């Protein structure tokens, strides 16, 4: 038993930096950051299928942030862009976004095809979220407003593939 204890103590002493780093990474993962794999084409060209992204769990969400939220009925998480905040009126006319009556540019879109729609005053505690690939996205147009309590993270970094590393 004494030999085993000496071996453990020796290992800990020789690898303090590694153990410390590992502990810090575990704490960061549990309380601050989450890693997600993008599935599907709903956020193209911002994200591609199988991209790996990192989200921050402690953040205030603003319009046009990219967020991860859970949809309990579907038993899965979604990655979408916040278009509307509580109190906003959202309108698309001829593929042009209007927020509270003001025209808003969407430079992240490559395809400007969006059906005309109008969302009157988003209630407190809810968000209106859309995929960047509007032709191929299950988003607030289909699943409704997103309760803020269902938010999991705000995407901060594309981590993989390495040639696409980007911060938001």
Catalytic residue positions?
A: 42, 80
DSSP code of residue 145: P
Give the Cα separation of 88 and 121 in Å (integer): 5
Assess contact for 133 and 111: CB atoms under 8 A: yes
Assess contact for 64 and 107: CB atoms under 8 A: no
DSSP for 30-92 reads HHTEEEEE--SSTTTTTS-TT-EEEEESS----TT-EEEEEETTTTEEEEEEEEE-TT--EEE
| 133: CB partners within 8 A, 6+ apart | 41, 42, 43, 44, 45, 111
The answer to whether the Cα torsion of 71, 77, 78, 82 is positive or negative is: positive
DSSP code of residue 162: G
């Amino acid at each position: 038993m004494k030999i085993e204890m000496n071996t453990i103590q020796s290992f800990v002493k020789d690898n303090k930096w590694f153990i410390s780093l590992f502990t810090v990474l575990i704490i960061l993962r549990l309380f601050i950051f989450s890693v997600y794999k993008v599935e599907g084409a709903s956020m193209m060209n911002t994200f591609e299928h199988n991209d790996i992204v990192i989200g921050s769990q402690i953040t205030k969400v603003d319009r046009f942030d990219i967020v991860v939220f859970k949809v309990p009925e579907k038993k899965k998480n979604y990655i979408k862009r916040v278009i509307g905040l509580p109190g906003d009126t959202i309108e698309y006319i001829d593929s042009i976004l209007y927020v509270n009556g003001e025209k808003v540019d969407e430079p992240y879109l490559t395809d400007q095809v969006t059906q005309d729609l109008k969302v009157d005053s988003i209630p407190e505690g809810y968000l209106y979220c859309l995929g960047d690939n509007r032709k191929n996205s299950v988003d607030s147009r289909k699943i409704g407003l997103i309760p803020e309590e269902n938010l999991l993270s705000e995407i901060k970094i594309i981590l993989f593939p390495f040639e696409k590393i980007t911060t938001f």
